[in-house]
Structure 1
């Protein structure tokens, strides 16, 4: 499958569920349309990202992520945060753990705009995997599992991209089903 066909297939599979969870992102054809808001506004518009938004605020990252960018945000859902061991989120949200929370959150952000087409090309060029260096400094490894993009973190945990290409004014959001850890 060539790069463009792969990207279109990924977009068809992934874009529609995200449009339902992010009201500011309308679906135009197979891809989510550009929002007038930034990546923070996009997350705030989603009923499935309340924990992520609270964490971004607690870590003091709102102004950074509202910046010029561009940013690629792999946004874990509330269900992803709920799947963490009991007490993890509450512990991370405590003021004394602000640095650790910031590290976890910036591990979900890649500099630049990496949309589905670009990511598919990187995976193909990397013979089945692509290393994405996060703002936190550690790498995520992207692969394809059928038509689903997966991300593997430094701990060996794997997240699935459940919705892709929510274009924002300063980047792109891809929704994931697992919180990644540096």
Structure 2
């Protein structure tokens, strides 16, 4: 039941990311950065921590569009049969890998993970990207340890305006689009797939 809930959250976040991509540069009140720092990394630019501030005004499950930058994540969630809606009352933080992140996996890995025999492994990988609570990029501190809903540990690293996460295997993901807010959580798009310890 717990796995179904957090994977539903990740699936819902792909819709949130799409809404944010459509809104692209709707800044929060008081944000005066130019739009060139608010593009979601598709052209190789890294966004500044806190520069996104996009709000959908909907909960994670109700956010309407799917991001073109997260179609592989959506496919993985569909294969894992994680399409149910989550309750709107709990806050979650999702570190959502982009298509480019999945493409960095060794050749054949994604294809293997999308087969029924690897469903449990796929669920473990997806669960490594969800943390309970509403964590904006500014809330993340250098050296902070986050516990994912699947029980994995992620270590936060901050260098200037970059936020990075290291998983138990030593993989490091950089937040390339931060602070995409929903009524029940926040998403941060990342450039690397985080892996569970086993």
State the TM-score, normalized to the length of structure 1.
0.77
Unaligned runs of 5+ in 1: 1-17
Alignment map for 1:9-158 (pairs within 5 Å): 22-24=21-23, 26-28=26-28, 29=31, 30-39=51-60, 44-63=65-84, 66-68=86-88, 69-119=90-140, 123=141, 128-158=142-172
Cα separation, 2, equivalents of 1:40 and 1:110: 16
User: Which structure carries more strand by proportion?
Assistant: 1
Q: What SS does the corresponding residue of 2:181 show, helix, strand or coil?
A: strand
Secondary structure of the residue aligned to 1:114 is coil
Are the counterparts in 1 of residues 19 and 66 from structure 2 also a CA contact under 8 Å? Answer: no
When residues 43 and 117 of structure 1 are mapped into structure 2, their CA distance, relative to the original with a 3 A threshold, is: farther
Q: Deviations over 1:9-38 (max 9, x none)?
A: xxxxxxxxx899621563333442321344
Summarize the Cα distance change of 1:49–1:82 in structure 2 as closer, same or farther, 3 Å threshold: same
How many residues are matched? Answer: 157
Once structures 1 and 2 are overlaid, which stretch shifts more, 66-75 or 150-159? Answer: 66-75
Deviation readout 1:23-73 (Å, 9 max, x if unpaired): 156333344232134435659531100001111222223326x33331100
For structure 2, the residue ranges without an aligned partner over 5 or more in a row are 1-16, 32-50
| 66-75 vs 106-115, greater mean Cα deviation | 66-75
Decide which structure has greater helix share.
1
Deviation, 1:111, is 0.8
* Displacement over 6 Å in runs of 4+: 18-21
CA RMSD of aligned residues (A): 2.4
Contact 2:56 2:182 in 1 (8 A): yes
